[in-house]
Amino acid sequence: MIIRVPLRFEGSKGEKTLYALFDSGATYSCISEESVENLEEIIKLHTPLRLATASNATYMEIKYTTRLDFYHEDVRLSDEFLVVPGLSEEVIIGAATMQKWRLKLDFENDRVIVDPRVAKLILINLIKKD
């Protein structure tokens, strides 16, 4: 099941609104090469990742990653995004990010539910650990 919504993304180079596909069937969050331009620096992975696709016996190789902040209903969230060449969507928010931030998908109303209290608690705990 998927939901597609516009989100504001921020990086060290700037910010922009991108359409994010919330996909409970995707493990990782991903961003297209074009979408990450003018947002944030990308980091080369020591060892590239080979990820299986929905197509049988088809793999894609991921060589870069980045970390971005993004906002849903003025709640600041943050996570790592794999930079995927040729990605058909601007951004995909995967299950790991949804679980981390306890995001809920309301398929009847095509919306993403964020509890700002949970996001605030997680951000405070992340800041205290640094």
Q: What is the pTM of this model?
A: 0.85
Q: What is the DSSP string of the chain?
A: -EEEEEEEEEETTEEEEEEEEEETT-SS-EEEHHHHTTT---EEEEEEEEEE-SSTT-EEEEEEEEEEEEEETTEEEEEEEEEETT-SSSEEE-HHHHHHTT-EEETTTTEEE--HHHHHHHHHHHHHH-
Token digits of residue 130: 């640094």
Give the per-residue pLDDT at 2: 80
Separation between Cα atoms, residue 45 and residue 112, nearest integer Å: 31
* pLDDT tens readout for residues 60-84: 899 999 999 999 888 889 999 999 9
- C-alpha–C-alpha distance, residues 102 and 96, integer Å: 10
Q: What integer best gives the mean pLDDT of the chain?
A: 88
Question: Is residue 113 predicted with pLDDT exceeding 80?
Answer: yes
How many other β-carbons are positioned within 10 Å of the β-carbon of residue 27? 13
Whether pLDDT at 122 is above 60 = no
At residue 121, the pLDDT reads 57
pLDDT at 1: 66
The per-residue pLDDT for 51 is 83
* pLDDT for 12: 97
At residue 118, the pLDDT reads 67
pLDDT of the residue at 25: 87
Model pLDDT for residues 2-25, shown as the tens digit of each residue: 899 999 999 999 999 999 999 988
CB-based contact 47:63 (threshold 8 Å)? no
Average pLDDT estimate for 105-125:
75
* Contact yes or no for 51/37 (Cβ under 8 A): no
